[in-house]
Structure 1
Amino acid sequence: MSAGRYALLVATGRYENEDLGRLRSPARDAEELADVLRDPRIGGFEVTTVLDGRHHEVTRAIERFFLDRRRDDLLLLHLSCHGLKNNNGELHFAAGDTDRRLLASTSVPALFVHQQMRACRARSIVLLLDCCYSGAFLAGGKGDTTVHVGDELAGHGRAVLTATNRTEYAWEGERITELSPEPSRFTGSLVKGLRTGEADRDRDGLIGVHELYDYVYEELRDSGAGQRPQMWAEVEHRVVVARSVRQALPHAPGNEAPAPAPPPRPAPAPAGPPPTLAALLPLTEALAGLPCMEDAPGRQQFATALGQFLARRIDLRGVRQREDVVAIVRTALRQEGGEIALLSTVELFEGAAAAAEVRHRLPP
């Protein structure tokens, strides 16, 4: 039997308990996301939706969704609802009948979702969480926002994208108020990236889960939203969420992907890589070995100090070390005098000997 692509969308916007305000986004989120996931040109998923379900309906749907799957199946679970924490800081997903005083018996615990994912035979599972405090699903209970591979979710072929970190709210449009339905910022960006194909960053015609995260992160950052999506992933192979509808289109001007090669014609051979490219790799390797680059807070402090030298802000995702280091080095190399500023920052954090070692790595 061939592998299948299955999606379960759980959207809860109406609540019996008056303490839980009505949400305008979940129903629209489910509708829009289901459209692009079902589209045979894009997702090609078999989609099931649970709208405003009670807690026993949601838990049963989730357990059934992960049951009796084949190893080569791709499963995608999307939760759009209120995210609530109990007194121990544990995350719960609100259902239609949730009483926030009785979370253990009337909500969907994040632990339950963890357990169903761990028990599932499918090698590729993508979880999308659009709720407040959704980053708490990733954290190991230590109160930080860093994604740890050794957390409860650790396993084979799992990827989790969350709308926020452990402490942030997930925004609906411009306000968290009940108005006319519109997608949340997180799910709205997901849908846009899939529907337009803009999430296909390398223009190979396929949208992988890492590309989708990068697209959503940059969309929310550029929009000024006060939330930072998080990601955790451990997969043996590339997990393709969708095809790109832009595959057959010509590359747009200014797109970062390389344009199709023109017909051969006489041209001078390039003398070699530009100076910035020649320095990017050795500087990245040198900085990645510094103690100040070992954790996300250290990399952020380094980027802040370097940004003051360069008179510009350096935004880091704080998820993958090498990605942050590349962003730091690339920003420095694009600025006049950036290499000197980078070396000065290294000396500030690690001393003159470390700065000399980094300087030694630079190409002539």
Structure 2
Amino acid sequence: MPHALVVGINTYSGKGVPELKYAVNDAVEVSDRLRKAGFDVVTLTDRQATHKKIHWELEVGLNQRVTDEDDPVVIYWSGHGMSDLRKRTGGDGASTFLLPVDADIDQPLGTSFPVQHVWALLNRLKTRRVLVMLDTCFSGAFAGDGRRGFAIDGARGGAVNPTDEFLRMEGHGRIVVSACGPDEIAREDETHGHGHFSRSVLTVLDRSTSDRHVNVTGLVSDIRAEVRRQTRGEQTPSMHVSFEGADWRIPLPPPAPYQAPMPSWAFVGTSGGVGKTTLAMITAELLAESGNTVLYLDADIAHHGGTSEWCQRAGTDLGHAKTFADHVAAFSRAKTRTPAAQLSDRLVDVTPGYLRRHGCGRILLLPAARVSDRLFVFDLVAEIKDRRSNVVCRQILDEAFERGVRQGATCVVIDCGAQFDPLAVNSIAAVDHPFVVAAARAGAKEQRETILSNCERTVDGFSRLRVATVVNRVPSEEALVQHWGQPGYSNPGMSFHFLPFDSKLFQDWEEGRPNFELGYDDLTHQWHEILVASDKSGCQGEHKDFLPSEWNRFSKWSLWLAANRDWTESKRATLSRSVRRSYVVAVCWFAILATALVSILPHVIAKDDADDASFLPQWLSIPLLALSALAVAGNAIVRMVLRRRRRVLNDVLQHSTSVEALKDWFSVPREDGAWWQVWRSSRRVAIEWLHEQVKAERGKQLPSGRVSEAAT
């Protein structure tokens, strides 16, 4: 049976030892993976990781549990290492230590673990198969910037002998690997909450392979390669191997479900022209509307429609930005004509102008491919089906996600490529909100089924119930029912959302008209409702804060009102004049009402015709009375509506002095309240009226034809 001792220390009790943030998290996660792989694991963290307990585990505990010389043993240490460079008589004075929680750096020999002493303890184990992994370093003066090591006497990098003598452990089948080389520093990854080395170990352990065992030398090589990849060459783990005989193997944990590192949405189409890219772009704008920095990953390298549309709207070009095709090329025989050294890792900022003006979030584009790389892209697409395993696809996606994370992305939208592309399948499986976009035409339902079946065959444990289907651009209800059936959710896994086709709305959106600046257009509003419903059903509302609220919907046009006070004052003056005129009209109708009433009353009171003092005939006075009564009531209702509208306009102007004041005003309920609180129950209607007025006025300012964001 395999055994493991895992140590992780964040907070040290001794003086002068800086705290770490994620060492305990490293130890907990590594322990979890090893247990799932079948290891008997002892985990010591923080106050448990004393010198006495660790020493007992190394000298006694492991020997009690190990029963066979072929039992694999893994020692994992995440914490501080130390180099003592103080000069001593008769030697070079260099010693390296692993620090337990109660270490005293002024007396390291008695309170810490010299690595040679650790090797001596491990050499006494019954087993021949020991793997030691140290997420620590022994060089560089600690400066509180996420380093996992420091030196006494002001040492600089290179405190450890470049030959890595401190790693040498004698014996059969012994491997020691440290997080970085002698002139390097083991750092913590603030973004992912791990040390870079530990994160790489977890990544390699989680990779899916058909064989749940791996050669230990291959495992260590993969870890070293992953560390170099994640740190962009800043860390290269040191390794020492002492082998006699054949390489040995250790078990791996069951593969963990592959997931994107941040809230994620992905779109794959059943065929071309279904509006997949349109919905992906609208989703990105909605997420940015809420203040998020969105990574828009255009993985459709064959068509790259999203890349073209974003660049055209933003009035920018790709320059030397590294494309998604370049990421794929690293795992392909096809090679781009652009040398890798000339490519930039910077993502292309394609944030629409209206989002910039109102201080919202950003949209960072990872472009699919350059137009000049058509032949190169053709070669990539041609070898898609046969050459890409899930492991390779996930490495490609990880590199893309990592670029976004490094540049501040908080969520990702993936515009997937062809449905048979393993990259598309792995994207759909990895995200929180996968969407299949289809059309209301013959064969679309079968194409959706093909996509889901392909995902189930390719990705272990894939659940089609997670995938939402959107039937887009529906021409009529008859077409929807004919090809998809009645919409609804009575049949799990076969339900779908649908969006009606409005040619003007799609044309306006695709031409780049800044509808968002004035609140949602109908298309975006319907799609927003689908996103909210999908989040509620698929993730229990976990990502509701990433989507715009009603405040986001109304905030921008209300701020537009404050910035256009002439129009606002003019509209308010018009409403005031209308209110005054309504009073004049009310007086006139009230006079007519009184006249009709005065004419009718003598007729009612009179006992006979001789006593009747009516001055109008009854056939005229009765209809006049009814008409004037209705007119007076209608006038009162119109005046009340006008006053509500004026009140809302005044409130917007009053609270537009600051964004926070405007937010507070919008947070007041619009529909709650008793029946007699008419102003409250009608507030929403008044706000929506004002919104339509602003849209109409703003629409007059837009030139006809295509409008670029730079111009608006």
TM-score range, shorter chain: 0.5 to 0.7
- Verify: 1:213 aligned to 2:220, yes or no: yes
Secondary structure, aligned partner of 1:8: strand
Alignment partner, residue 528 of structure 2: none
- Verify: 1:227 aligned to 2:243, yes or no: no
Amino acid at match of 1:186: F
Alignment partner, residue 117 of structure 1: 122
Alignment partner, residue 301 of structure 1: none
Q: Which runs of 4+ in 1 moved over 4 A?
A: 142-152, 202-205, 248-255
Measure the CA separation in 2 of the matches of 1:94 and 1:54. 9
Compared CA separation, residues 105 and 157, structure 1 to 2 (3 A): same
Alignment match of 1:100 (pick from 95, 98, 105): 105
Alignment match of 1:82 (pick from 75, 80, 88): 80
Alignment partner, residue 239 of structure 1: 248
Secondary structure, aligned partner of 1:60: helix
Alignment match of 2:63 (pick from 67, 73, 78): 67
Measure the CA separation in 1 of the matches of 2:392 and 2:106. 54
Alignment partner, residue 43 of structure 2: 49
Measure the CA separation in 2 of the matches of 1:107 and 1:253. 41
Q: C-alpha displacement at 1:7, in angstroms?
A: 0.5
Alignment match of 1:8 (pick from 5, 8, 17): 5
Amino acid at match of 1:116: L
Secondary structure, aligned partner of 1:210: helix
- Verify: 1:195 aligned to 2:206, yes or no: yes
Measure the CA separation in 1 of the matches of 2:206 and 2:161. 30
What are the equivalent positions in structure 2 for 1:153-172 lying under 5 Å apart?
A: 153-172=169-188
Measure the CA separation in 2 of the matches of 1:47 and 1:205. 18
Q: C-alpha displacement at 1:6, in angstroms?
A: 0.3
Compared CA separation, residues 67 and 254, structure 1 to 2 (3 A): closer
Secondary structure, aligned partner of 1:168: coil
Measure the CA separation in 2 of the matches of 1:229 and 1:150. 14
Compared CA separation, residues 241 and 149, structure 1 to 2 (3 A): farther
TM-score norm. by structure 2 comes to: 0.30
Amino acid at match of 2:38: G
Q: C-alpha displacement at 1:168, in angstroms?
A: 2.4
Alignment partner, residue 32 of structure 2: 35
Alignment partner, residue 21 of structure 2: 24
Q: C-alpha displacement at 1:156, in angstroms?
A: 0.9
Measure the CA separation in 2 of the matches of 1:90 and 1:234. 22
What are the equivalent positions in structure 2 for 1:142-153 lying under 5 Å apart?
A: 152-153=168-169
Amino acid at match of 1:183: H
Measure the CA separation in 2 of the matches of 1:54 and 1:253. 39
Are the aligned partners of 1:84 and 1:92 in contact in 2 as well (CA < 8 Å)?
Answer: yes
Measure the CA separation in 1 of the matches of 2:390 and 2:113. 43
Alignment partner, residue 331 of structure 1: none
**Is the deviation greater in 228-237 or in 22-31?**
228-237
Residues 57-112 of structure 1: CA deviation (Å, up to 9, x unaligned):
22122212442442121111111111001236211111111121111111122122
Residues 19-63 of structure 1: CA deviation (Å, up to 9, x unaligned):
111111211011110111111xxx210111111222222212221
Secondary structure, aligned partner of 1:23: coil
Compared CA separation, residues 24 and 118, structure 1 to 2 (3 A): same
Measure the CA separation in 2 of the matches of 1:54 and 1:149. 26
Secondary structure, aligned partner of 2:121: helix
Q: C-alpha displacement at 1:151, in angstroms?
A: 7.7
What are the equivalent positions in structure 2 for 1:272-287 lying under 5 Å apart?
A: none
Measure the CA separation in 2 of the matches of 1:249 and 1:44. 24
Compared CA separation, residues 244 and 119, structure 1 to 2 (3 A): closer
Compared CA separation, residues 233 and 72, structure 1 to 2 (3 A): same
Q: Taking CA–CA contacts closer than 8 Å with sequence separation of 6 or more, which of the two structures ends up with the larger relative contact order?
A: 1
Amino acid at match of 2:77: L
What are the equivalent positions in structure 2 for 1:336-347 lying under 5 Å apart?
A: none
Compared CA separation, residues 44 and 147, structure 1 to 2 (3 A): farther
Measure the CA separation in 2 of the matches of 1:126 and 1:250. 24
Amino acid at match of 1:207: V
Are the aligned partners of 1:8 and 1:65 in contact in 2 as well (CA < 8 Å)?
Answer: no
Compared CA separation, residues 160 and 253, structure 1 to 2 (3 A): closer
Are the aligned partners of 2:168 and 2:240 in contact in 1 as well (CA < 8 Å)?
Answer: no
Q: CA RMSD in A?
A: 3.3
Secondary structure, aligned partner of 1:79: strand
Are the aligned partners of 1:38 and 1:47 in contact in 2 as well (CA < 8 Å)?
Answer: yes
Amino acid at match of 1:210: T
Compared CA separation, residues 119 and 217, structure 1 to 2 (3 A): same
Q: C-alpha displacement at 1:188, in angstroms?
A: 1.0
TM-score norm. by structure 1 comes to: 0.57
More helix by share: 2
Measure the CA separation in 2 of the matches of 1:151 and 1:96. 22
Amino acid at match of 1:185: H
Q: C-alpha displacement at 1:244, in angstroms?
A: 6.8
Unaligned runs of 5+ in 2: 87-93, 140-157, 256-388, 397-712
- Verify: 1:127 aligned to 2:143, yes or no: no
Measure the CA separation in 1 of the matches of 2:32 and 2:246. 26
Amino acid at match of 1:206: H
Secondary structure, aligned partner of 1:241: strand
Unaligned runs of 5+ in 1: 135-141, 176-180, 256-364
Amino acid at match of 2:182: R
Amino acid at match of 1:50: L
Residue identity (%): 24
Compared CA separation, residues 105 and 193, structure 1 to 2 (3 A): same
Measure the CA separation in 2 of the matches of 1:15 and 1:253. 37
Amino acid at match of 1:93: L
Q: How many residues align?
A: 233
Q: C-alpha displacement at 1:229, in angstroms?
A: 0.4
